[in-house]
Amino acid sequence: MTHDVLANGARIPAIGFGTYGMEREDTLRMIPAALEGGFRHIDTAQIYRNELEVGECTVLSGISRSELFITTKVWVANYPERRFAASVDESLKSFRTDYIDLLLLHWPHDGVPLADQIGLLNDTVKVGKVRHIGVSNFNRQLAAMQTLARPNSRIVNPPGLAPAWDV
């Protein structure tokens, strides 16, 4: 699987292997099979509670880190500034890597102003922990608002399979 898409400067493998709902045993069985089958994009999230297993599998795979594309999502409880950076550091530790390819805000959440959320994403890029940033599960209106909140950000908004959200 070598087809890539370009999005705001990011070269992303077009098909990613999602880990939503995978328990430890399933993750340890499925990620190696996916990598062996040619997947190079692994999609997970802090709330999925399987970042540690994803990291274990990618390291043990023997595939060069530069050939893998890891996407994870910051959970809404970690949007406050006092928790954001620490949650990203925990993800990095779980993945056993020094950078995340794509870091997303998992869901819209009004507990922290959107401009602050985007600012925290940008901070992770500035310090080299993350290569690309974006949002997940944002409808078109919210995705447009995030651009206004931080106009110099290079944001990715991956398409979802829930057209009813896209109002």
Instruction: List pLDDT tens digits, range 141-159.
Output: 666 665 555 555 555 556 5
pLDDT confidence of residue 159: 54
Write down the residue that tokens 């370009």 correspond to: 6
pLDDT, one tens digit per residue, over 62-90 is 999 999 999 999 999 999 999 999 999 99
Q: Stretch 21-48: mean pLDDT, rounded?
A: 97
Per-residue confidence (pLDDT) for residue 161, from 0 to 100: 42
Task: Classify 110 as helix, strand or coil.
Answer: coil
Entry pTM: 0.87
Classify residue 136 as left (phi > 0), alpha (psi -120 to 50) or beta. beta
Structure tokens, 150: 């931080």
pLDDT tens string 105-142: 999 898 998 889 989 999 999 999 999 988 888 877 66
pLDDT above 50 for 163: no
Q: Report how far apart, in Å, the C-alpha atoms of 121 and of each of 62, 67, 73, 102, 116 are.
A: 29, 23, 11, 10, 9
Q: How far is CA 62 from CA 16, 53, 134, in A?
A: 19, 15, 28
Query: Given this model, what pLDDT does residue 158 score?
Result: 60
Q: Which residue has the tokens 């399979």?
A: 161
What's the CA gap between 86 and 157, in Å, rounded? 23
With bands split at pLDDT 50, 70 and 90, how would you rate the model's confidence at 164?
Answer: very low
Q: Supply angle C-alpha 34, 3, 95, rounded to 5.
A: 45
Query: Does the structure show a pLDDT above 50 at 7?
Result: yes
Please, what is the angle between helix 114-126 and helix 140-149, to 10°? 60
Place of tokens 């530790």: 93
Q: What pLDDT is attached to residue 114? A: 86
Tell me whether residue 99 is one of the annotated catalytic residues.
no
Length of the chain: 167
